[in-house]
Amino acid sequence: MHEVKMLSKIDHANCVKLLDFEESGTLKGQNGASRNVFYMALELCSGGELFDFIAQTGRFEEPVARYYFK
């Protein structure tokens, strides 16, 4: 819940926006068992995963990292 509260307050171009949150979801497994889950709807970030990009290109040099993580 702490993460949801913090994400709902953040409104910045470099941060993924929390669009919606539901804390009373139920997920049924393949074996028929169900469990309670939280659902978070986040803003779409096109362009792929940051991890995949770093895995393909190697570590960021400081100026590049500063550009992306300012």
CB-based burial label for 41 (10 Å; 0-12, 13-18, 19+): exposed
Contacts for 32 with CB less than 8 Å, ≥ 6 apart: none
- pLDDT for 69: 76
Report, as an integer, the average pLDDT of 43-55. 86
Q: How confident is the model at residue 16 (pLDDT cuts 50, 70, 90)?
A: confident
Strand partners, 36: 26
* Distance of alpha carbon 10 from alpha carbon 62, whole angstroms: 25
Report, as an integer, the average pLDDT of 34-47. 89
- pLDDT for 41: 92
Query: Would you give the DSSP letter of residue 50?
Result: H
Name the percent of the chain lying above pLDDT 90.
33
- pLDDT for 51: 86
Look up the pTM and report it.
Answer: 0.57
* Distance of alpha carbon 39 from alpha carbon 23, whole angstroms: 6
